[in-house]
Structure formats: C-alpha cells, structure tokens
C-alpha cells in the first residue's frame, strides 16, 4: 500500500526564551528599523495610533536613530559584532540547553523586536516536532508593555499554524527565591570586589508611564516586591528603588533614576552601587544609560565612587533559575 502521508515530526517539547530585542547593527537604518517596530507597538505607546504614527514617522524616526546609534556604538561588542543583549541571550539559551536539553527537549531564544523573531523561532520549534512549547519572557516583573506584548506576538504567530502546539507561559518571577538569591549573591560579590564602602544601593528598573499603573498594571508593585525581598536577604547596605529610561513628556513611575543620581551627592551619598534587577541581560539601558551617563552625572554632582552591579546575564545562578522555572512545566 502506498504511503502518501506527509512526514510530520512530533513528540518533543520546546522552550523559548524571549527578550526585548536589538538592532542588527549600529547603522542608522538598522537602528531606525528596530525603533519603528518597537515604538509602533500599541502595548508600548498607548496613544491615538493615527496621531502617534504621524509623530513617530515625521519626527522621532528622523532624529532619534542618530542618538540611539551613538549609545549602541559605546557598548557594541566588537569581538562578536553584536549587542550585549543578543550575546548574553544566545548564551543563556545555549547553557540552559546544556543543562536540561535532550533529544526531546529543545531550547531556543527569540526577540520581541528585531531578530531572531518570535514567529521564526516558533515555526522552527514546530518543524522540529515540538507539540508543547514553554514561553519564558525574560522580564522578571510582569508589565503589559513587556510580557503581555510577547504573548500577543506568540499568539499572532500561532494563528497562522494549522497544527498548533500546546502553550505554557511563565508570566513573571519577581519573587522566586532562587532569583532573589542570585541577585543578592551578585551584590555580595560586587561589594567584596571593591575597595570602598557603598553608602547606598540603587535598584533601578525600567520605567513605565504612570497612567499604565493607574489603569491596573502590576509592574510597579512587582518591582518594589523584588527590592523588598533583596533587602530582607541583604541587610548590610540600604537598597532603594528608582525607575529609569523614561520617554516623552508624560509622567512616569517615580522616583526617576537620573534625577536621583544627580541629587544623591547633595544628600551626603558619595559612594554608590546600582543594580538593575529587571534586566535579564546587560544592554544599552544598563551599560550606557546607567554605567556611562548615570556614572558621569553622579560624579559630576559631587559623588566619589560609583559602580554598576552586572546583570545576571549567562552566569550559572541565572541558568539554574531558568532551569527551575522551566522544569515546573515539563
């Protein structure tokens, strides 16, 4: 009997780590392409879409790519010709695969904006025979502008599939004990490595417009919860929460990181450490905005010592955390 059934792979589970995204290069056009996709997301910019597209295309995408390209050039990895975020996210997936992967469990990564796209990686996992896919958005603290838009894109991609895999999403992990332990361990490691005593530790999270919080976004509460849990485990130096990376004229979550860094020396805080727990990988927001711009601002206003605690990146504690989160769903 002739077998004309199409060859179909099945029986495997996929794990997809998803981070924010990155331009393909530091060129003006690649930066513009990336910003257009990012800033066109209605989860990110909640204003009248017709008005916003006019503002975005006539003004922001004309002037902002040059400024953004300048920032990326300062932190771009010349050894691998890619952004640190892409470098570390790839390594996270590779190391997680080495820890839990096997012939029936495939680990990969994608970006919400830019490459590799969520759609391409979901199709790849499906083609490998993954009937169940676990989505891990690399945002410890859930927000509509981060985790929810990842889910939106995942669902849009599945809408095009004839045979959809089952789907499980890990929505947030802001209070996971192993996450808090990894953060406090990174603080302790930094404190031991410097020859000065910090007066304060700033825990800086990416901000969101205050109106998103007013509409019910839990992000603000999750950030403060992470800081509170870090303070319970690390009691030697006080830790305070701030919010960075605000964009546009509207009010965002406060206190603002940049304004705080300017004012702290006048309040007697001369020696400062900064940690960015909301970022799974070091990126332009941590390496350029905090460690370059923030450092300059703090020192120019009278600060004496400043250092940035690296993100958890691809270190073993972070990979172990991912393994613990994912294996709950396998």
pLDDT tens across the length of the chain (330 residues): 456 777 888 899 999 999 999 999 999 999 999 999 999 999 999 999 999 999 999 999 999 999 999 999 999 999 999 999 999 999 999 999 999 989 999 999 999 999 999 999 999 999 999 999 999 999 999 999 999 999 999 999 999 999 999 999 999 999 999 999 999 999 999 999 999 999 999 999 999 999 999 999 999 999 999 999 999 999 999 999 999 999 989 999 999 999 999 999 999 999 999 999 999 999 999 999 999 999 999 999 999 999 999 999 999 999 999 999 999 998
pLDDT at 164: 96
Task: 268-271: list long-range contacts, CB under 8 Å, 24+ apart.
Answer: 268/199, 269/199, 269/200, 269/303, 270/199, 270/302, 270/303, 270/304, 270/305, 271/196, 271/197, 271/198, 271/199, 271/200, 271/303, 271/304, 271/305, 271/306
CB-facing half-sphere around the CA of 119: CA atoms within 13 A: 9
pLDDT at 326: 98
**Is the fold of 12-172+317-327 the same as that of 177-308?**
yes
CA distance 60 to 27: 16
User: What's the CATH architecture for 177-308?
Assistant: 3-Layer(aba) Sandwich (3.40)
Q: Facing residues of 136 across strands? A: 17
Domain 12-172+317-327 is in which class? Answer: alpha beta
pTM for the structure as a whole: 0.96
- How far, CA to CA in Å, does 214 sit from each of 95, 141, 210, 239, 251? 39, 17, 6, 25, 11
Residue among 183, 170, 204 nearest 317 (CA): 183
Phi/psi at 278 (nearest 5 deg)? -80, -10
pLDDT at 2: 56
CB 13 within 8 A of CB 131: yes
Domains of the chain, by residue range, sit at: 12-172+317-327, 177-308
């Amino acid at each position: 009997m002739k077998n004309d059934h199409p060859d179909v792979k099945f029986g495997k589970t996929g794990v997809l780590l998803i981070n924010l995204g990155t331009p393909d290069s530091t060129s003006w056009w690649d930066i513009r392409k990336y910003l257009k996709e990012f800033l066109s997301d209605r989860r990110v910019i909640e204003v009248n879409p017709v008005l916003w597209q006019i503002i975005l295309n006539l003004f922001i995408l004309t002037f902002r790519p040059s400024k953004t390209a300048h920032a990326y050039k300062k932190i771009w990895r010349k050894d691998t010709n890619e952004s640190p975020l892409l470098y570390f996210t790839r390594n996270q997936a590779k190391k997680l695969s080495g820890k839990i992967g096997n012939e029936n469990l495939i680990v990969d990564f994608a970006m919400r904006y830019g490459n590799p796209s969520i759609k391409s990686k979901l199709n790849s996992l499906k083609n490998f025979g993954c009937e169940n896919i676990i989505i891990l958005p690399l945002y410890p603290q859930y927000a509509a502008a981060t985790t929810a838009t990842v889910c939106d894109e995942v669902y849009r991609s599945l809408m095009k599939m004839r045979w959809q895999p089952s789907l499980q999403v890990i929505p947030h992990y802001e209070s996971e004990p192993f996450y808090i332990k990894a953060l406090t361990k990174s603080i302790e490691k930094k404190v031991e490595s410097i020859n000065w005593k910090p007066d304060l530790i700033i825990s800086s999270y990416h901000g969101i417009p205050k109106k998103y919080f007013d509409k019910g976004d839990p992000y603000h509460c999750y950030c403060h919860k992470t800081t509170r849990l870090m303070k319970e485990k690390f009691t030697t130096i006080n830790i305070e929460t701030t919010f960075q990376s605000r964009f546009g004229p509207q009010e965002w979550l406060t206190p603002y990181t940049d304004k705080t860094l300017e004012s702290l020396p006048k309040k007697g805080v001369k020696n400062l450490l900064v940690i960015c727990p909301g970022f799974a990988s070091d990126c332009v927001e941590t390496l350029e905005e905090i460690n370059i711009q923030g450092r300059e601002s703090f020192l120019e206003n009278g600060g004496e010592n400043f250092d940035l605690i690296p993100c958890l990146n691809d270190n073993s504690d972070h990979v172990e955390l991912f393994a613990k989160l994912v294996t709950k769903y396998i």
